[in-house]
A and B are shown apart, each in its own frame.
Chain A
Amino acid sequence: MTFEIVAHYKKLLLDSPELSMPVAAIESLVELIRHSKATTMSEFMLSIKDASQQLKSSVRNSISLSAGCDLFVRFVTRNSQDVADFETWKGTLISRGQRFVEKADACRYKIAELGLPFIKDGSVVLIHAHSRVVSLLLQRAAENHKRFKVFVTESSQTQGGIRSAKVLRAAGIPTTIILDAAVGYVIDKVDMVLVGAEGVVENGGLINQIGSYQMAIVAKAANKPFYAVAESYKFVRLFPLNQYDLPTYNADTLSFQELNIDYDSKSNDAALADSPTSLKKASSTASPSTATSQTALHMKTSEDQASQGSNPLVDYTPPNYITLLFTDLGVLTPSGVSDELIKLYL
């Protein structure tokens, strides 16, 4: 196969940052069909499944990506039964796929329309990190002359909060960035919590950027509504039991660091123990403070780097924490999501 699906996918995302992963995935798969030289049905199906597998394994956080892939594969298999002419069928698939990509954007607008009435005048909304559809919803609300304020968590891993704040402030919405750790502090001032989603799982639960789960717990404790906003192509056939049952979880995730890192820190300690002498030496020549801060900084970054790899990027929010989901299929309760998924895959 000459067509490099992963490369195409990455290029798509790079070209248009507004594109979401599942849409890009479907677009890539459509592209694959275009390039496909398969002559038999089974060969064709195999190549599609293979490609979606490639895509999934190509990124670290594959949840929303796999939602898109699965949806498309499901669609192809479902339609594969009554195929009269292979080539025309391929043609329909391509046109449908393209139509989907066109509609994907409309999805978000529909969600924004549905979610609009939930944003009350004078309310305070807490959002998490950056989500395109959440931003769009809030922008639409601002366009509709709703006056409200937004707290956004910084989301230190991706700095998504800063991105959100930029977008929202540009839309004229008063926005304050808060620390991820300050959710409990602000929750009493907040009227509703709004988060996006990487994926919405079988039971109506949510997979989203790390931190959503704790926000949901805090919201529940404070009796504040917790709304999730997700396009229906993010519904994914997963049923996680808990955080450690996600496909992104591996033995490495948050594992306790082993001895080699211990040695490192010891050597750092040794360096620290040495520092007074080195300080004395250095004090005469250079400013001592810079020297120490540099070592401290160095230590910090090295440790961060060591632990960074094992820190999870997403977490799972069980459905009982979610008040409602705004989707392009309508405003759903978590059990409504389950209903839709059952209908699609049964």
Chain B
Amino acid sequence: MSKGTNDLVDDLVAKLKRRQLVGSSTVAQATLKLLIVVISKNNWSKPNELLNLVKSVGQKLIEANPTELAVGNIVRRVLHVIREEYREAEAEKDANLNEFQPAPLTTSSSMYNLLGETGSASKDNVHYPSSLRSNIIQEIREIKDDLENIYDQIKNQASLHIHSNEIIMTIGRSKTVEEFLKMAASKRKFQVLVAESAPSYSGQEMALELSKAGIETTVIPDSAVFAVMSRVNKVILGTHAVLANGGLIAISGSHMMASAAKHHSIPVVVCTGLYKLSPLYPYDEDSFNVSMNPDSILGFEEGDLIEKVTVTNPYYDYVSPTLVDLFLTNQGGHPPSYLYRLIIENYDPNDQTFDLSTMAETLPKKQRA
């Protein structure tokens, strides 16, 4: 790897480690930007070379902050694009050679492969067209454009999902949800209840923003979620990440809100860009959680108390897929049961587990005050 790109990688790794860069969107964009540089500035000729290059950079970034799943998602997405490009190039060649090839279903993870031809021997000797490099970069740039327009693509569906005089509940602050609701407000009149999500109280900021946009907004403490749920028409949640089974890693309090909604049979809609969809499974509900500084729960003012008690301050909540009714992504609306398909389309199965061990092991444990 060239010196310049190495520095860039280290820089991003440092930022991730120090949590200077947080939030799926920022992290995803930074990762993509870096990968474009890495791919264009480095020398590679064979598919494996490039894949390994991207993988090694990805591995570093993921290890820097394993809870920012968007990093891994973007890396996998790029790997997938690279593989696709190579596959296309190979297919062209094969077509030229006109070999005997029963090429029915190309999805690599088909049952058919059990009996069919598998793992065409690594064609290291194949010469790839020179346009490949620019093609790959072109594809990745498309991902980047997608990423930048994600809010537009999601929010444009708003009027399809919100009717007049609805009461909508949400928790914490999510840029996606905020844009979504603001868009809806330009066409419909409705009310929003925002739970604060203590101790970050990001719901307050959300409420402020929404009220500035002219949406009738009410801040409720987290404790009132169940009480008012019965009059709510829809719960709209943002999320930090969507796992392969449709489970969410979302701001703490999301679980209780989703279960309260379930109890009252109120639909839960999750607004998310596809870059938050991760091919990983929630092996352990704590796997992707972060424990924050307990100071915001029990301040130093309570010095004597702090010594005697344990304070737990998880930043995220795991919401199981059974509590979610709909995902609104930049590709439209999907039920949780369809997510596996989106994963197959966006990621290569060979990449799903390339960093698994590191993901599972470096779990932050509860902090003791």
Contacts and interface: CB of A to CB of B under 8 A. Distances in A.
Given A78-B104, A79-B102, A332-B340, A232 B114 contact: yes
A72 B105 contact: no
Contacts of B44: none
A232 B349 CA distance: 16
B340 A117 contact: no
A28 to B, nearest CB: 15
Contacts of B112: 75, 343-344
Given A117-B283, A117-B360, A335 B338 contact: yes
Nearest to A323: B245
Interface residues of A, number: 33
Interface in A135-193: none
Interface stretch (A96-104, A252-260, A290-298): A96-104
Contacts of B104: 78
12 contacts: A75-B112, A78-B102, A78-B104, A97-B115, A117-B360, A120-B284, A323-B245, A329-B109, A332-B340, A333-B339, A336-B341, A343-B110
B283 A333 contact: no
Interface in B350-369: 352, 356, 360
A331 B104 CA distance: 23
B349 A330 contact: yes
Q: Top 9 nearest A-B pairs by Cβ distance?
A: A117-B283, A336-B340, A335-B337, A75-B115, A329-B109, A232-B111, A344-B111, A333-B340, A340-B111
B245 A333 contact: yes
Given A233-B111, A334-B337, A343-B112, A118 B245 contact: no
A149 B339 CA distance: 32
Size class of B's contact patch? 20 to 34
Given A82-B102, A335-B338, A339-B341, A72 B245 contact: no
Interface of B: 102, 104-105, 107, 109-112, 114-116, 244-246, 281, 283-284, 337-341, 349, 352, 356, 360
A100 B115 contact: yes
- Majority-rule SS of A interface residues: helix
Contacts of B107: 343
B109 A330 contact: yes
Interface in A258-302: none
A335 B283 contact: no
Interface in A319-346: 323-324, 329-336, 339-341, 343-344
A323 B244 CA distance: 12
A71 B338 contact: no
Nearest to A114: B353
Contacts of B105: 343-344
Given A330-B109, A331-B244, A333-B246, A71 B114 contact: yes
A329 B114 CA distance: 10
A9 interface: no
A316 interface: no
Nearest to A326: B281
A79 B117 CA distance: 12
A118 B283 contact: yes
B110 A329 contact: yes
Interface in A62-84: 71-72, 75, 78-79, 82
Nearest to B336: A333
A342 B246 CA distance: 22
Contacts of B356: 117
A235 interface: yes
Contacts of A235: 111
Interface in A192-239: 232-233, 235
B323 to A, nearest CB: 11
Nearest to A123: B284
A45 to B, nearest CB: 16
Contacts of B109: 329-330
A344 B284 contact: no
A324 B283 CA distance: 12
Contact of B340 (A79, A118, A335, A343): A335
A276 B321 CA distance: 64
Contacts of B339: 333
A103 B114 contact: yes
Nearest to B107: A343
A97 B114 CA distance: 9
Interface in A84-142: 96-97, 99-100, 103, 107, 117-118, 120
Nearest to A339: B341
Given A75-B115, A233-B114, 18 more contacts: A71-B114, A75-B112, A96-B116, A99-B115, A100-B114, A107-B114, A118-B281, A118-B283, A232-B114, A233-B111, A235-B111, A331-B281, A333-B337, A336-B341, A339-B341, A341-B111, A343-B107, A344-B105
B228 to A, nearest CB: 25
A33 to B, nearest CB: 13
A128 B284 CA distance: 22
B283 A71 contact: no
A183 to B, nearest CB: 21
Given A72-B115, A117-B283, A330 B352 contact: yes
B283 A120 contact: yes
A329 to B, nearest CB: 5
Contacts of A333: 245-246, 337, 339-340
